[in-house]
């Protein structure tokens, strides 16, 4: 990639499972590494609940921050982040990252995630403000969404 262009793509939505699937599809189409931030953190902690019991919640949060900071240094990668991880690590990803917010319908989020309607509005506002690119998703076919994102990326990359 050109040094002036972003060297990583961050995919985020209010439905982590949806973001993971789209990020994985995009990474395959673009020949990039795919990283699921939650899985990397879980791998590092092995047994989160046990680590919290033995060490502390602060220790777990510190490990999360460390993993996310390292992930932000990767190049040629498509990353799927949860809302919580994105909000705590945004500063690490804001440079050299294309942050794509998949704006899913409110009813889809309510059915698939534990997000209240009040949280939905606030979270959507936060992601809209912090993302490089907002993709309005009204047709939930994953191949359609992937193609829509790739078309947008073609205009940016």
Q: What is the pLDDT of residue 1?
A: 42
Residues 6+ apart with CB under 8 A from 90: 130
Cα dihedral across residues 34, 36, 39, 41: positive or negative: positive
Distance (Å, rounded) from C-alpha 27 to C-alpha 66?
23
Hey, which residues does 35 pair with through a beta bridge?
Answer: 79
What's the pTM value of the predicted model, to 2 decimals?
A: 0.87
Question: Using CA atoms in the order 55, 56, 62, 64, what is the torsion angle rounded to 10 degrees?
Answer: 90
Q: What is the pLDDT of residue 2?
A: 46
Q: What is the pLDDT of residue 20?
A: 96
Collapsing DSSP states into helix, strand and coil, what is residue 126?
Answer: helix
Q: Domains along the chain? A: 8-152 (3.40.50.300)
**Helix/strand number for the chain, H first, E second:** 8, 5
**Residue of higher predicted confidence among 108 and 116:** 108
Cα dihedral across residues 122, 123, 126, 128: positive or negative: negative
pLDDT digits (tens, 9 = 90+) for 28-70: 999 999 999 999 998 888 877 777 778 887 888 888 899 999 9
* Strand ranges inside the chain, DSSP E: 8-13, 33-36, 77-80, 97-103, 133-136
pLDDT exceeding 90 applies to what percent of the chain?
Answer: 62
- Selection from 155, 143, 137 nearest residue 25 by Cα: 143
């Amino acid at each position: 990639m050109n040094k002036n262009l972003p060297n990583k793509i961050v995919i985020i939505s209010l439905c982590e499972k949806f973001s993971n699937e789209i990020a994985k599809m995009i990474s395959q189409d673009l020949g990039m590494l795919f990283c699921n931030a939650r899985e990397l953190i879980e791998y590092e902690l092995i047994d989160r609940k046990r680590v919290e019991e033995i060490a502390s919640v602060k220790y777990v949060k510190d490990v999360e921050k460390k993993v996310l900071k390292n992930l932000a240094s990767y190049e040629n990668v498509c990353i799927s982040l949860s809302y919580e991880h994105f909000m705590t690590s945004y500063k690490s990803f804001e440079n050299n990252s294309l942050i794509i917010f998949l704006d899913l319908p409110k009813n889809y989020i309510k059915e698939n995630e534990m997000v209240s309607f009040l949280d939905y509005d606030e979270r959507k506002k936060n992601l809209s403000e912090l993302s490089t690119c907002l993709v309005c998703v009204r047709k939930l076919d994953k191949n359609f969404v992937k193609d829509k994102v790739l078309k947008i990326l073609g205009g940016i990359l």
